[in-house]
Structure 1
Amino acid sequence: MSSASTPENAPTRPLRRPRTLKNRSYAVARWLHVYSSMVSLLIVLFFAATGVLLNHPEWTFGSAETRSTLRGTLPADWQAGNAVDWLKVVSALQKSGLKGTAGDFRADAGGDTLSFRAPGYSADVTIDPAKGSYAASVDSQGWVAALGDLHRGRDSGKAWSAALDLAGYFLVLLSLTGLAMLLYLKKLRLSGLLTLAGGAAVVGLLMNLALK
Structure 2
Amino acid sequence: MRNLIISAALVAASLFGMTAQAAEAPAAPYVELSNPVQVAVPGKIEVVELFWYGCPHCYKFEPVINPWVEKLPSDVNFKRIPAMFGGPWDAHGQMFLTLESMGVEHKVHAAVFKAIQEEHKKLVTPEEMAEFLATQGVDKDKFLATFNSFAIKGQVTQARELAKKYEITGVPTMVVNGKYRFDIGSAGGAEQALQLADKLVEQERAANKAAAN
- Normalising by structure 1, report the TM-score: 0.28
User: Larger RCO: Structure 1 or Structure 2 (Cα < 8 Å, ≥ 6 residues apart)?
Assistant: 2
Higher fraction of helix: 2
